[in-house]
A = this chain, B = another copy of it.
């Protein structure tokens, strides 16, 4: 493995000159550049970036903390991050935590140990105090799942408003008893969405029923469990508002096993607008999140932090959109 010294020797110049050539400085004589390039070619020299990294004390890497990538929601946000990062010359590292605090800590230590220049949290197990402290110690941005009260830049949709819009839509189409399936108090987004749900019901003069509010999680299985609980009630609700597409599909699939047809017998609405929402049978009405844009914007904010530009925290809210498909029964206006 040849080093910059070998190149310098072969080209008959100093290492400083080789470094200049490598970094495209313009104060090198063209003939010298040629000679250096020839030596690089001959030795098949590849610069060892660890040297540069140590010298410059910057890694050009960022870390993204995600609870899982099995849900297409996160993989799309991640894609937005990666494309933005890439065009700024950064590489992306991934920490899949499964929402385990120890695993998360172990990974974010990389930041403290200078192995990455910054961190984007798509979810974190830390509380407001810990996250605030972390963000003070190194560049960080929080996206998707925020932590109430933490001092850190954020990017997300307005979860309260999104749920409000979704439930209002169901109400407008004649649903009165609406179940709410979410991940419970663990997630800030779930809390906000639940508030939106309750506000919408209140607007319509409906008192929420305890039995219709189910905290099961964001997965397919969570939806399945929720459906099984609903099936034990005396009477099924008119509609189910699920806080992820996966959950909605779990609900639909479990109901189908009991001969209950979505749309005809019950309306179901998802959240996120993953690709499967379009391809499921029936296709899913859902709240669309701008996943790619969330990721892109999150990197932008992080990049600003890394470069010390605009050091005050920003809180970006991106627009959601209701995507109507046939899993919800439309009431003909009379």
Contacts and interface: CB of A to CB of B under 8 A. Distances in A.
A30 interface: no
A93 B96 contact: no
Interface in A250-306: 250, 252-253, 256, 275-276, 278-281, 283
Nearest to A110: B91
A48 interface: yes
Interface of A is mostly: helix
Task: From A49, A86, A107, A281, name the one whose CB has the most chain B CB atoms within 10 angstroms.
Answer: A281
A78 B91 CA distance: 17
A69 interface: yes
Contacts of A281: 252-253, 256, 280-281
Nearest to A47: B113
Interface centre among A92, A96, A220, A279 (most CB of B within 10 A): A279
Contacts of A69: 69, 75, 78-79
B279 A249 contact: yes
Name, among A59, A109, A115, the residue most crowded by chain B CB atoms within 10 Å (CB to CB). A115
A132 interface: no
A158 B114 CA distance: 43
A188 interface: no
B279 A115 contact: no
A91 to B, nearest CB: 6
A114 to B, nearest CB: 5
Given A279-B250, A280-B280, A113 B48 contact: yes
Contacts of A86: 103
Contacts of A114: 46, 48-50
Task: List the 5 shortest-distance A-B pairs measured between CB atoms, nearest first.
Answer: A49-B113, A69-B75, A46-B112, A253-B279, A50-B54
Given A49-B113, A69-B78, 14 more contacts: A48-B114, A50-B50, A50-B54, A53-B53, A70-B75, A72-B72, A79-B96, A82-B94, A94-B94, A220-B275, A220-B278, A253-B279, A253-B283, A280-B280
Interface of A: 46-51, 53-54, 57, 59, 61, 69-70, 72, 75-76, 78-79, 82, 86, 91-94, 96, 103, 107, 109-110, 112-115, 220, 249-250, 252-253, 256, 275-276, 278-281, 283
29 contacts: A46-B109, A46-B112, A46-B114, A47-B113, A49-B114, A50-B50, A50-B57, A50-B59, A50-B114, A61-B93, A69-B69, A69-B78, A69-B79, A70-B72, A70-B75, A75-B75, A78-B96, A86-B103, A92-B93, A94-B94, A220-B275, A220-B276, A249-B276, A252-B281, A253-B278, A253-B280, A253-B281, A256-B281, A280-B280
